[in-house]
Amino acid sequence: MMRRHCLCTFALLSLMSWFALAARVAAEATPTATTLAVTSDGARVSFVASGSVVALTATVKANGKAVTLGQVNFCKASATYCTDINRLGTTQLTSVGTAVLRLVPGIGKHSYKAVFAGTPNGIARILPPSMITF
């Protein structure tokens, strides 16, 4: 009987420790701000010729400083979730806090958004995604 009691007590303490850690991580989460720019041949653009390569460049900051760990998802601006068919791609943030996705958009008007996916340990409170139409 004593062994069973010790095992239950250990399980309860482990569970309480896990919840305490989760609460601390959530409290330490910092809001991020993501901006998005569209360029072609190094210049900002609002339209491009058919077949042109454009670069979607997302910049992620927290408390005014560049975020250098984590990933950014690029997707259609109309998508509720940046997953599956709506996601254009995912890129890693660089040491200067930017993530770049190069693509050749189809003919027509397009709206894209960049969504900071968080850091490897999952810490991030994400503000609304940055969107751009061209």
Residue 18 has pLDDT above 60, yes or no: no
Distance of CA 29 to the CA centre of its chain: 14
Is 102 contained in some domain?
yes
Is 126 contained in some domain?
yes
Residue 72 has pLDDT above 60, yes or no: yes
> What distance in Å separates the CA atoms of residue 115 and residue 129, rounded to the nearest whole number?
5
Domain span at residue 101 reads 30-133
Is 60 contained in some domain?
yes
Nearest CA to 34 out of 134, 118, 116, 125 is that of: 116
Is 24 contained in some domain?
no
Name the residue with higher pLDDT: 40 or 124. Answer: 40
Is 8 contained in some domain?
no
Tokens describing residue 38: 């569209």
- Domains identified in the chain, total number: 1
| Burial status of residue 89 (CB atoms within 10 A of its CB: 0-12, 13-18, 19 or more) | middle
Is 19 contained in some domain?
no
Tokens describing residue 29: 């989460």
| pTM of the entire predicted model | 0.71
pLDDT tens digit sequence for 29-54:
678 888 899 999 999 988 899 899 99
State the CATH number of the domain containing residue 113: 2.60.40.10
